[in-house]
């Protein structure tokens, strides 16, 4: 049995398919992937699938409903956006994103915003 040959061939196919996937990913797809899976909980879980903002949780306080919201992040300046990602907050997890990843996220979110405006 030359089992190891099969194993070697299979792992070669597996590794090359991973590499192929990566190089065929467009900038848009890459940015979207990053938004949903930024090495931590996806931004979309709190900020909504296009950064439009969303209610994360609600609770009752003295009989009144109180909402905890993640703000819309599709209209910020690049500066505000980047700064928010490097400060720590009580509600938002801390991420360790590179500058280029932040830029991809920023363009993903503002691109959506621009196309929304264009449709109106
Ligand atoms: C667990 C929910 C949660 C997740 C996940 C999350 N955020 Fe937030 N984010 C918040 C909340 C709540 C705020 C507002 C309070 C604050 O600034 O901490 C916020 C604030 C921000 C702000 C500042 C908005 C402003 O107007 O100043 C930006 C930018 C931002 N988030 C981007 C992101 C990005 C990009 C990701 C993914 C890498 C992400 N967030 C993931 C909950 C979240």
User: 51-67: per-residue pLDDT in tens?
Assistant: 999 999 999 999 999 99
Q: How confident is the model at residue 118 (pLDDT cuts 50, 70, 90)?
A: low
Answer for the pair 73, 51: CB distance below 8 angstroms, yes or no. Answer: yes
- Nearest residue (by CA) to ligand 1, atom 5, is 43
Ligand 1 pocket: which residues have CB below 6 Å?
38, 41, 43, 45-47, 56, 70-71, 73, 76, 80-81, 84-85, 89, 91-93, 95, 105
Q: What are phi and psi of 5, to 5 degrees?
A: -65, -45
Looking at residue 114, what is its pLDDT?
64
Q: Ligand 1 mean position to 12 CA, how many Å?
A: 40
Q: Ligand 1 mean position to 71 CA, how many Å?
A: 7
What are the distances in angstroms from CA 4 to CA 7, 8, 18, 97? 5, 6, 21, 39
Tokens, residue 102: 């932040």
Q: Which residues, 6+ apart, have CB-to-CB distance to 33 below 8 Å?
A: 25
Looking at residue 116, what is its pLDDT?
59
Q: How confident is the model at residue 97 (pLDDT cuts 50, 70, 90)?
A: very high
Mean pLDDT confidence for 74-86: 93
Looking at residue 9, what is its pLDDT?
76
Enumerate the domain spans of the chain: 25-119
List, in sequence order, every residue forming a beta bridge with 66; answer none if it has no partner: 59
Higher pLDDT pick, 24 / 20: 24
Q: How confident is the model at residue 33 (pLDDT cuts 50, 70, 90)?
A: very high
- Nearest residue (by CA) to ligand 1, atom 1, is 92
The widest CA-to-CA distance across the chain, in whole angstroms, is 73
User: What predicted TM-score, i.e. pTM, was given to this entire model?
Assistant: 0.79
């Amino acid at each position: 049995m030359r089992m190891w040959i099969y194993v070697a061939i299979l792992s070669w196919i597996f590794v090359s398919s991973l590499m192929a996937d990566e190089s065929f990913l467009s900038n848009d797809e890459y940015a979207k992937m990053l938004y949903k899976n930024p090495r931590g909980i996806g931004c979309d879980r709190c900020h909504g699938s296009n950064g439009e903002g969303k209610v994360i949780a609600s609770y009752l306080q003295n009989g009144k409903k109180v909402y905890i919201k993640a703000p819309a992040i599709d209209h910020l300046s690049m500066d505000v956006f980047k700064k928010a990602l490097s400060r720590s907050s009580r509600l938002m997890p801390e991420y360790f994103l590179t500058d280029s990843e932040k830029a991809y996220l920023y363009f993903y979110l503002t691109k959506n915003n621009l196309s929304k405006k264009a449709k109106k």
